[in-house]
């Protein structure tokens, strides 16, 4: 079922890096802006207006032809069969997805531009209205007996083609409401959760942070937490705290409203656990996620606690302040990495794994599919948006020339390669559940990191690289599971009534102190840092997908290192599958089973091994 464009996931916003100043920007080279003209020439273009009109005409015609007739169509084949109906529905999904993607990407290019906001809002409203005419389709399909659908697979070639989508759709059947209620939920989403998502985005984009009298945007201020000078990090942390506190009423209202909105929806649909709707959307079993979370929490002392104790010693501190967590080591190179060098680094690493992977990634550079500069109003962080199979994906980064920016570029291009390959499945089956959505991105990072590490012969430089990778993995695994536990606490507590900013801050500190360990002092002000994490707003309980993906890729990479041959072919088959197969089926060719409790321990062992290597270098 079409969903209007929502905010893309901003991947690992804490990894965003920046360096203020025109000279620094000049050192980076010519940073590309994306070519949204590949979708439409402009919001006022005839092409855009024509497609919007076509979407309306086709949606109404689809409703008139198929509503109330799907049970009968399931008994036929050819142009009047259920497969033909799904194919037409898929064409509508692609068309409406293109319209929504263009509006969303235009908006996220500059969320502070009122014209962009109006364009985005109008497009969302129109697409939501059209989606209400298509809502019957999935609901009616799920009322058809399983035996009738199974018979259609045998007699209708088109239905057989869409079998994975139809089977997957039926997993939602126990949680469906009647048609009128579903339509109400859909139409009210624009003035409910959707409105509060937009309020968060526009509020966050408009915030500034005062550092030594200079008003800085979020990206630049966050980047100062990675400055070599402790005083610069302290000032940035205090600036972040001051602005978050000044806006705490807004962020608290948004959090309370969205948590209550989710509780209402879950209660009406009959979900038992607060995260069950996310697990269903991810097509992953609750016990698998519970096992992941338990394994990571059990490993806190061996991973984050141990590493941060080592880092405190390297920085000459008995205990680090929270703003020192991402501080660079003294050995860390300070030279900026130009855009051209970043491009060469990532493409070379991808080519070393498989030329096809590098060729696909290169299209993002040559085709204008990447938006790289930091600018006022632009969405913070980074994301890869798939748009629709008839077009191509786009990548947004805020490139500032730090080593972590190169890793972020490798991460997002991994998503982009995945989206290009999965696009072969068509609009209905290209989307990858979150269980595997981070696979290609994290794998791309690992390839880039390993390629750089192999070229490094200097022990101090190797130590800095290993430390940076360990911190990235801790942020991706330990921190994201802590985020997941925080969300569980917030949504559970919200059932008992509204939460104050102080209530939410206490829940935040409880999970942060547990995950970070005794080597980091949780000073006053850190209780506000839950405010800016976009995942909590746009996609509740999304965050465990990062830990899932990182641990999975660690196991996958271990298989790659031991493989005699054929790994690349199996890997590309996994990416090409999109959402057409369950993750367990896609992992089986690699001999991996995420339902095995030991699976997560194996994935975490790679991170532990990197910490071991750092410890050995430190003693050498």
| Token pair 């925080």: residue | 486
Q: Residues 257, 563: contact at Cβ < 8 Å?
A: no
What is residue 25's predicted lDDT score, i.e. its pLDDT?
A: 59
What is the rounded CA–CA span in Å between residue 560 and residue 379? 35
What is residue 8's predicted lDDT score, i.e. its pLDDT?
A: 43
Q: What is the value of pTM for the model shown?
A: 0.85
Q: Residues 607, 474: contact at Cβ < 8 Å?
A: yes
**What are the structure tokens assigned to 457, written together?**
């012969």
Q: Which residues of 18-47 are buried (b: 16+ CB within 10 A; e: fewer)?
A: bbbeeeebeebbebbebebeebbeebeeee
What is residue 403's predicted lDDT score, i.e. its pLDDT?
A: 84
Low-confidence ranges of the chain (pLDDT < 70): 1-26, 620
All structural domains of the chain, each given as residue ranges with its CATH number in brackets, are 29-190 (1.20.140.70), 202-332+475-538 (1.10.1370.20), 339-470+545-619 (1.10.1370.30)
Sorted by sequence, the CB contacts under 8 Å of residue 435 that are 6+ apart come out as 282, 283, 284, 545, 548, 583, 594
What is residue 24's predicted lDDT score, i.e. its pLDDT?
A: 55
- Say which DSSP state 479 is in: H
- Say which DSSP state 497 is in: S
What is residue 454's predicted lDDT score, i.e. its pLDDT?
A: 87
Collapse the DSSP code of 34 into the 3-class scheme (helix H, G, I; strand E, B; otherwise coil) and give the result. Answer: coil
Element (H or E) spanning 601, and its range? helix 598-619
């Amino acid at each position: 079922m079409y969903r209007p464009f929502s905010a893309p996931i901003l991947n690992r916003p804490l990894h965003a890096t920046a360096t203020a100043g025109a000279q620094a920007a000049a050192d980076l080279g010519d940073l590309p802006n994306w070519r949204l003209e590949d979708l439409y020439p402009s919001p006022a273009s005839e092409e855009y207006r024509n497609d919007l009109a076509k979407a309306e005409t086709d949606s109404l015609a689809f409703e008139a032809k198929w509503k109330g007739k799907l049970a009968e169509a399931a008994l036929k084949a050819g142009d009047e069969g259920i497969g033909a109906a799904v194919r037409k529905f898929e064409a509508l999904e692609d068309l409406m997805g293109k319209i929504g993607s263009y509006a969303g990407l235009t908006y996220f290019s500059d969320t502070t531009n009122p014209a962009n906001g109006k364009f985005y809002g109008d497009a969302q409203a129109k697409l939501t209205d059209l989606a209400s005419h298509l809502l019957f389709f999935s609901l009616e399909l799920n009322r058809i007996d399983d035996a009738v659908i199974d018979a259609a697979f045998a007699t209708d070639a088109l239905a057989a083609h869409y079998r994975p989508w139809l089977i997957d759709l039926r997993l939602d059947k126990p949680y469906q409401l009647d048609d009128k209620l579903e339509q109400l939920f859909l139409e009210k989403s624009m003035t409910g959760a959707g409105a509060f998502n937009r309020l968060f985005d526009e509020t966050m984009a408009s915030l500034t942070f005062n550092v030594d009298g200079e008003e800085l945007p979020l990206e630049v201020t966050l980047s100062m937490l990675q400055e070599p000078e402790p005083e610069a990090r302290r000032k940035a942390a205090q600036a972040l705290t001051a602005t978050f506190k000044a806006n705490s009423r807004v962020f608290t209202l948004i959090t309370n409203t969205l948590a209550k909105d989710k509780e209402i929806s879950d209660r009406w649909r009959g979900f038992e656990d607060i995260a069950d709707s996310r697990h269903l959307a991810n097509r992953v079993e609750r016990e698998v996620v519970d096992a992941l979370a338990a394994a990571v929490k059990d490993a806190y002392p061996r991973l984050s606690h141990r590493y941060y104790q080592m880092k405190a010693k390297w920085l000459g501190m008995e205990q680090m302040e929270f703003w020192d967590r991402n501080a660079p080591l003294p050995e860390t190179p300070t030279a900026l990495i130009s855009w051209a060098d970043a491009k060469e680094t990532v493409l070379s690493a991808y080519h070393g794994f498989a030329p096809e992977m590098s060729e696909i990634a290169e299209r993002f550079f040559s085709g204008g599919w990447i938006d790289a500069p930091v600018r006022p109003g632009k969405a913070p962080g980074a994301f890869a948006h798939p748009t629709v199979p008839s077009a191509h994906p786009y990548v947004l980064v805020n490139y500032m020339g730090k080593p972590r920016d190169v890793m972020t570029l490798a991460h997002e291009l991994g998503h982009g390669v995945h989206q290009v390959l999965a696009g072969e499945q068509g609009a209905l089956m290209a989307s990858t559940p979150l269980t595997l959505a981070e696979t290609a991105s994290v794998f791309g990072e690992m390839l880039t990191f390993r390629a750089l590490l192999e070229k490094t012969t200097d022990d101090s430089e190797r130590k800095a690289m290993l430390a940076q990778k360990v911190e990235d993995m801790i942020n991706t695994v330990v921190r994201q599971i802590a985020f997941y536990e925080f969300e569980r606490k917030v949504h559970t507590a919200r059932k008992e009534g509204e939460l104050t900013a102080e209530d939410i801050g206490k829940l935040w500190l409880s999970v942060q102190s547990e995950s970070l360990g005794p080597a980091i002092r949780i000073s006053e002000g850190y209780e506000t840092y839950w405010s800016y994490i976009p995942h909590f707003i746009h996609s509740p309980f999304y965050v465990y997908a990062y830990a899932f993906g990182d641990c999975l890729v660690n196991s996958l990479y271990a298989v790659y290192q031991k493989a005699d041959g054929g790994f690349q072919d199996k890997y590309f088959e996994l990416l090409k599958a999109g959402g057409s197969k369950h993750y367990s089926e896609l992992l089986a060719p690699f001999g991996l089973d995420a339902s095995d409790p030991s699976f997560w321990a194996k994935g975490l062992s790679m991170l532990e091994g990197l910490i071991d290597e750092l410890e050995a270098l430190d003693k050498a």
